[in-house]
């Protein structure tokens, strides 16, 4: 953990992220869900952390993001914020607005966004959708909450899209995504995620908007990139999408470490002397078992 005192920490803001696009500096964003991982990600120098509703799949084990609630997002965002502040306090924290938290009305969207900022410590929120949510974005921004857009493959619309498939592959759909990008910029988004679209389209959108584009499965010409920390670390051996580069293979390492622990416990090799505590003044006395009624209950200590 960094020993840098808190009063000299430089926390990135939405203004800093926008300046990075102008300066040609690539933005490195990582999706994380808990305090320990957020601290490590911030220590490593990531510019931004996204607390994604992908936690429904990665953390909770669902087959989509749809079961994730606003309460879940507040809980995990709070944990990530604490992890960042125990580190360098550098990474900007954006929280996803989960399915159902903004679709019903702009008023409901504003309330949800405010809760993520006020209760969870998010510095911005992200919502999925294009021009149809421009007014929702305007209302949230007007309430003082920065908004990151998200177009292309939008997982909350997985049923409408027919699955997790690349978007914008034909001319008509590509033009629609470009219009969506411009509408979100005009509505006040400070940045936007481009997910699973052709690299050529992502490059064109990036050149056409003044706000940073953060790609995932959108080629190398976006202003930044985002990957889920579990994916880039190779925690799940069964999940290997094309757009992920695995920078480690921790799944096998974790399984091996836990297996070694199990073997040590069964063999009596753990805990060893160096893992045990002693008292030089403690004297063990022979306990005299007292008589107790046959129906007396023995209550064990909690583990």
> Which residues 6+ apart lie within 8 Å of 209 measured at CB?
181, 182, 185, 192
Distance of CA 190 to the CA centre of its chain: 18
DSSP strand pairing (224-228 vs 92-96): unpaired
In whole angstroms, give the CA distance from residue 88 to residue 204: 35
119 is catalytic: no
Burial class (CB in 10 A: 0-12, 13-18, 19+), 89: middle
**Using the 8-state DSSP alphabet, how is residue 210 labeled?**
S
Q: What are phi and psi of 144, to 5 degrees?
A: 95, 15
Provide the H-helix boundaries in 120-214: 134-142, 158-161, 171-187, 199-208
**Using the 8-state DSSP alphabet, how is residue 197 labeled?**
-
Tokens linked to 174: 């590509």
Tokens linked to 203: 């490059």
C-alpha distance from residue 86 to each of 38, 120, 265 (Å): 9, 16, 33
DSSP strand pairing (27-31 vs 224-228): parallel
Q: Which residue in the list 195, 274, 290, 291 is annotated as catalytic?
A: 195
User: 124 forms bridges with which residues in the sheet?
Assistant: 94
Active-site residue list? 195
């Amino acid at each position: 953990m960094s020993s840098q005192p808190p009063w000299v920490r430089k926390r990135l803001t939405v203004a800093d992220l926008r300046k990075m696009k102008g300066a040609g500096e690539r933005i490195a964003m990582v999706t994380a869900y808990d305090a320990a991982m957020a601290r490590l990600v911030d220590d490593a120098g990531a510019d931004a952390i996204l607390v994604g509703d992908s936690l429904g799949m990665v953390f909770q084990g669902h087959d989509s993001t749809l079961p994730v609630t606003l309460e879940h997002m507040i809980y995990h965002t709070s944990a990530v914020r604490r992890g960042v502040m125990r580190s360098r306090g550098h990474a900007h924290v954006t929280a996803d607005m989960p399915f159902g938290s903004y679709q019903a009305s702009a008023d409901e969207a504003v309330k949800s966004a405010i809760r993520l900022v006020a209760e969870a410590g998010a510095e911005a929120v992200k919502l999925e959708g294009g021009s149809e949510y421009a007014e929702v974005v305007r209302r949230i921004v007007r309430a003082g909450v920065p908004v990151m857009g998200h177009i292309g493959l939008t997982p909350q619309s997985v049923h409408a899209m027919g699955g997790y498939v690349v978007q914008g592959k034909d001319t008509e759909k590509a033009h629609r995504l470009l219009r969506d990008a411009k509408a979100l910029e005009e509505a006040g988004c400070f940045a936007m995620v481009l997910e699973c679209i052709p690299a050529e389209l992502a490059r064109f959108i990036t050149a056409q908007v003044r706000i940073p584009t953060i790609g995932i499965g959108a080629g190398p010409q976006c202003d930044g990139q985002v990957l889920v920390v579990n994916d880039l670390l190779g925690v799940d051996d069964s999940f290997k999408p094309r757009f992920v580069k695995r920078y480690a293979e921790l799944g096998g390492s974790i399984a091996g470490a836990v297996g070694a622990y199990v073997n040590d416990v069964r063999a009596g090799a753990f805990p060893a002397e160096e893992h045990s505590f002693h008292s030089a003044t403690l004297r063990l006395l022979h306990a005299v078992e007292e008589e107790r009624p046959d129906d007396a209950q023995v209550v064990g200590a909690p583990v």
